[in-house]
Amino acid sequence: MSIGPTIEQLLDSGVPEGDPATAWQRRRDAYRLVGPLNRGKFTVIVVGTGLAGAGCAAALGELGYDVHAFTFHDAPRRAHSVAAQGGINAARARKVDNDSIRRFVVDTVKGGDFRAREADAFRLAEESIRVIDHLDAIGAPFAREYGGSLATRSFGGVQVSRTYYTRGQTGQQLQVAASQALLRQVAAGSVTLHTRSEMLDLIVADGRAQGIVVRDLVTGRIGARTAHAVVLATGGYGTVFFQSTLARNSNATAAWRAHRRGALMASPSFIQFHPTALPVSAPWQTKTTLMSESLRNDGRIWVPRTAGDERAANDIPDADRDYYLERKYPAYGNLTPRDVASRAAREQIEAGHGVGPLRNSVYLDFADALARLGRATIAERYGNLFSMYHDATGENPYEVPMRIAPAAHFTMGGLWSDYDQMTSIPGLFVGGEAGWGYHGANRLGANSLLSACVDGWFTLPYSIPNYLAPLLGEGRLPLDHDAVRAAVGAVTGRITDLLDVGGRTGPDRFHRRLGEILYAGCGVARSPAGLTSAIGEIRSLREQFWSDVRVVGSASEFNQELERAGRVADFLELAELMCVDALDRDESCGAHFRVDHQTAQGEARRDDDHWCAVSAWETTADGRHIRHREPLAFDAVPLQTRNYQ
């Protein structure tokens, strides 16, 4: 298999021509409709019950469609959306700080380093207003000002206060509200909920997505479910790095199986490394812990000016501290975007200024905020986060600075979709982090919960009926159709292959080694030599996996080793494509930082003449990678060099 890609064709975004600020309204006005009496004749499968999946299933169920929601959790509220705790952005402009929809779009497009659709950013901003009002109405307990209005705070990459929050529990509280909305439809009979069910393949027939193959995680039974349309809202693939801020069960299998059936994968190398995670503290550690970016509102980030300084943090006077973000980016300071903050932290650690027992972190210090605001105010804003830090480290952040470090977090890449959220396979839609939209090469903090909600509640419930309308009168694909039998057979055969290897090494060992390869070759900084080496190492590791993986137990029972083995097998394929994409994209942009493309000041240098486009990849049956391109144009926010100074 060669590393170099073949450029096959240009992709049509489906964005209406004209002003991007009005594109969404004009597109909605042009959508075909399904009448209320006909909606129950259509079946829609929604895979995933996070904010995007729960919102989409609940909305479609409320409208009258026959919806089947699938999750591998035992309850929908356990979806990983609970982990995004800091807040959710909205351009509601309730504070007198001169925020607006246009400023929201500028911040989002600029924050993503001009590698996302401009029209998508306008939709995100426009619908953000409805999202907050909707979530407030269905029970999300947003923080409030003394007079009763909803409170806001700031996040990285902006100079206004547009982030709505529920202390440090925003994702958890929004997920509870969305799950309750979903369960209301389950009780009403419009949504059928399938728990402990993992999607292992996509059924494609007549060129359309018409169902999925799932495995019951309790009994091991493999079955198929057909529908008129399928929505994947299965989250991101950050756990490909093994040690990431994501839950250990988060994976890429549903999206990757769809990719192998023909859905293009966009910008897979665009990985966000969160600057505010807890550092790795021991070799046996299996994941990192996220500390919300909201902490950067009041915490100051610094390292000792002298490399190797052995003094305790509180013993280092202010004159001997380097508040490097405030020094390098005075206009934004500690609220610089995540990619910039992560690179800056990595530079300090690699230059010998790292702190902590392993010298692999920097300080996040609240001493000034505590002196200025008092402990009660800080506890009101971040109390649960401080408690979580204390539980994880044994250190009290009210008394000593936190220690933080960059860690693999959010994936801006995902299944490519057009403006209607439909992938390159007709009938297959995508929502939330499983897709690629909105964020470009770097996501601004608090836009993740927003993008999931916009997709689930206010985009897919419009665009899916537009797809379904011409299918009125067509039944669901019968379960004895050849395409269904073939997909079920493929899943069964793959499971048999995993069990039959009979090796000596558990899947987690391969996963951990894959993470080491990716952190070294496709991490915060990348180089052509490092990426080329990583591709070779991944291919070698994949060969070892299929000759030496050990999967104990059988397929006809609850078997977590089998689950992990299947997910790691997919990660080993995805990881190669990530590195191929990073090597192919011969520029730096956002979180994709190539050391051979940087300014004299060490900032990312884009190549807009050649790379102002989305790379959307096809993987052939024999493992070749073919790049397709969607050109990007910017009318409302002219191309410019990002500057946070």
Q: Is the dihedral of CA 243, 249, 255, 258 positive or negative?
A: positive
Indicate the helix (H) or strand (E) that contains 350.
none
Establish whether 343 is a catalytic residue: no
- In whole angstroms, give the CA distance from residue 183 to residue 128: 24
Tokens of 587: 């520029």
Q: Are 93 and 411 in contact (CB under 8 A)?
A: no
Q: Are 230 and 172 in contact (CB under 8 A)?
A: no
Name every residue whose Cβ is closer than 8 Å to that of residue 638 and which is 6 or more positions away in sequence.
none
- In whole angstroms, give the CA distance from residue 443 to residue 203: 32
Name every residue whose Cβ is closer than 8 Å to that of residue 494 and which is 6 or more positions away in sequence.
200, 566, 569
Nearest to 257 by CA among 486, 424, 491, 72: 491
Q: Are 197 and 70 in contact (CB under 8 A)?
A: yes
Which among 167, 208, 225, 338 is annotated as catalytic? 338
Beta-carbon neighbour count of residue 282 at 10 Å?
7
Name every residue whose Cβ is closer than 8 Å to that of residue 58 and which is 6 or more positions away in sequence.
178, 181, 182, 184, 185, 191
- In whole angstroms, give the CA distance from residue 47 to residue 418: 19
How big is the CA angle at 73 (ends 67 and 74), to the nearest 5 degrees? 90
As a dihedral over the C-alpha atoms of residue 207, residue 210, residue 216, residue 221, rounded to 10 degrees, the angle is -70
DSSP state of 446: T
How big is the CA angle at 570 (ends 565 and 576), to the nearest 5 degrees? 130
| Chain centroid, CA 641 distance in Å | 25
Q: Which residues are catalytic?
A: 338
